Structure 1
Amino acid sequence: MAAFWENIFIETAARYSVVILCTIVFLAIFEFVTSYRNWQEIKKGNLAVAMATGGKIFGIATVFRYSIEHNDTLIESIGWGAFGFVLLLFGYFVFEFMTPTINTDEEIGKGNKAVGLISMLISVGLSFVIGASIGGD
């Protein structure tokens, strides 16, 4: 059975499946903390929400990319990926706090593309910083 789990194709499929599942869970958490409904707004054509959500997806994927690269086991990768997600979520709240004259959540929900773009770039940028710091080895 050990040879089965050590097969690179099985290991890749397992990591891929876990990252997809974690991404769905993490996006649900983001959906919970925002005042707008991501997928409803995207369906209506709200580009600001699409950019912010895309940045979150890219950020989560980037964190997991580094987590997989720097950890030998699937459990370690999940742990570091989840920790990275918590840091991304924290970054979202810091962004909201650092812009007291703009309610970023409300502006994204209203379709403000400039705020959506900045939100996306913050998620992407932070994911690289978090990824570079992820433990392992």
Structure 2
Amino acid sequence: MIVVDLIISLFVIVLLQFAGMYIFSLMTPYRDMEEINNGNVAVGITMGGKFVATAIILGIAAYTNSSIWHMSLWFAVGYACLIASYWVFDWLTPGMKLSDQLKGGNVAVGTLLAAVYIGIAISVSSLII
């Protein structure tokens, strides 16, 4: 029975991770994977930050909850905060539009945004615990 629970939990975790990445990809006016295939390092760094940040929130949600339902719920709460951080950060930097900078290959913006995602994920995860 433990093996079945472990397999189900692992399946749900992978599903939530990729669902989270898909939702993130809908937020940008460009196609993330297409930009990465074209060698856009800024988008690659940002996407890596998104993946790590999503994994941090998902990992803490899985670690601190004994049911898949509660894990999914806390992941959704943490993930909503992560998405909100993009829009707030974009709003707080009125001199530049993040999506335009990333599409243009601005590595500095990509690196900063990846760090923002990871920092927000760590902060939000402390609230989930």
TM-score when scaled to structure 2?
0.94
| 3-state SS in 1 of match to 2:23 | helix
Alignment of 1:100-119 (within 5 A): 100-119=94-113
Of 14, 21, 25, the residue aligned with 1:27 is 21
Aligned to 1:123: 117
Structure number, greater radius of gyration: 1
Unaligned segments of structure 1, at least 5 residues: none
| Superposed displacement of residue 10, structure 1 | 3.4
| Superposed displacement of residue 24, structure 1 | 1.7
Unaligned segments of structure 2, at least 5 residues: none
| 3-state SS in 1 of match to 2:94 | coil
Structure-2 separation of matches of 1:100 and 1:11 = 47
Aligned to 1:64: 58
- For 1:121, the aligned partner's letter is A
Structure-1 separation of matches of 2:110 and 2:49 = 9
TM-score when scaled to structure 1?
0.89
Tell me, yes or no, if the aligned pair for 2:17 and 2:58 is still in contact at 8 Å. no
Of 48, 51, 56, the residue aligned with 2:45 is 51
Q: CA RMSD in A?
A: 1.2
Aligned to 1:89: 83
Of 9, 16, 20, the residue aligned with 1:15 is 9
Runs (4 or more) in structure 1 with deviation over 2 Å come to 9-16
